[in-house]
Amino acid sequence: MTTVRIPADWPTTEAQARAVQDELRTRVELSEPGPAPGTGTVTGVDVAYDDERDVVVAAAVVLDGASLEVVEEATAVGRVSFPYVPGLLAFRELPAVLAALEGLTAAPGLVVCDGYGRAHPRRFGLASHLGVLTGLPTIGVAKNPFTFTYEEPGARRGSTSPLVDVEAGGEEVGCAVRTRDGVKPVFVSVGHRVALGTAVAHVLQLAPRYRLPESTRLADALCRRALREAAG
DNA sequence: GCGACAG
DNA sequence: ATCTTGTCGC
């Protein structure tokens, strides 16, 4: 378990945070197809909080992209770096996520984040931000449509429909993906160095049985367990 | 001004 | 995210 280090220049105000996003968003790479599903490694990252005690724990779980077996796990503990503000989630989660990733020996490969990438008010969600800071290919998988709109995908697993930003004139920012028959879809968007089609294929490949990708299920379970053992 | 709003 | 028991269903 490594320790989270919050950079001295980490934003303190919402205005500063938005300025950082506007600066870094220019570095997002959207023209690469990304790693082929079923190849290499895939890493799930997630964060758990104990706001009472100001404690945060992040987990990174590396999976074999083909078998989905766990290759390596790492966790990090630290203090909360920013309050939760819709649109600024990265400033709350990234220091811990970066510390967890640094604790890994294996190459992360594609990183799967909880939340969004391009599907963001300024097109620079958590997944895009992590991608720019690490240079790794990243995607975002969220459980809710945030402020966006979507048509219900077909009832069968594998059905998809566009995730649209109505405010921005109907721009497509991601995809609603049905990972299980008749179950609420997940919301996928590109982070960095991955195409949307590739991202969707990865999500389906990572979720053969449950609604959420194995990568996020495992990372979620790990950071919660580590939080209990570190604080509660 | 008010409400909604990833985790 | 987190607070929380049982319960319906495959």
∠ CA A130-A136-A141, nearest 5°, is 60
Are A126 and A90 a contacting pair, CB within 8 Å? Answer: yes
Nucleotide nearest to A124 (CA to C1'): B6
Residue A225 — very low, low, confident or very high, per pLDDT cuts 50/70/90?
very high
How far is the C-alpha of A17 from the C-alpha of A222, rounded, in Å?
Answer: 28
How far is the C-alpha of A184 from the C-alpha of A52, rounded, in Å?
Answer: 32
How far is the C-alpha of A123 from the C-alpha of A50, rounded, in Å?
Answer: 29
Over residues A177-212, the pLDDT tens digits come to 999 999 999 999 999 999 999 999 999 999 999 999
Where are the domains positioned within chain A?
A: 2-230
Å separating the CA of residue A32 from the C1' of nucleotide C3: 42
Over residues A41-65, the pLDDT tens digits come to 999 999 999 988 999 999 999 999 9
Assess if CATH 3.30.2170.10 describes domain A2-230: yes
Å separating the CA of residue A166 from the C1' of nucleotide B7: 23
Closest CA to A213 of A161, A175, A172, A177: A177
How far is the C-alpha of A179 from the C-alpha of A193, rounded, in Å?
Answer: 23
Closest CA to A6 of A104, A67, A77, A109: A77
Residues in chain A: 232
Over residues A20-48, the pLDDT tens digits come to 999 999 999 999 999 999 999 999 999 99
Closest CA to A141 of A201, A86, A92, A64: A201
Protein footprint on strand B: which nucleotides are under 7 Å from a CB? 4-7
Write down the pLDDT at residue A161.
96
* Strand B contact at CB of residue A144, distance < 7 A: yes
* Strand B contact at CB of residue A87, distance < 7 A: yes
Over residues A68-113, the pLDDT tens digits come to 999 999 999 999 999 999 999 999 999 999 999 999 999 999 999 9
Detail the protein residues whose CB sits closer than 7 A to any atom belonging to strand C. A 47-50, 114, 143, 220, 224, 227, 232
Nucleotide nearest to A84 (CA to C1'): B7
Write down the pLDDT at residue A75.
97
Using the predicted structure, report yes or no on whether residue A114 has a pLDDT greater than 80.
yes
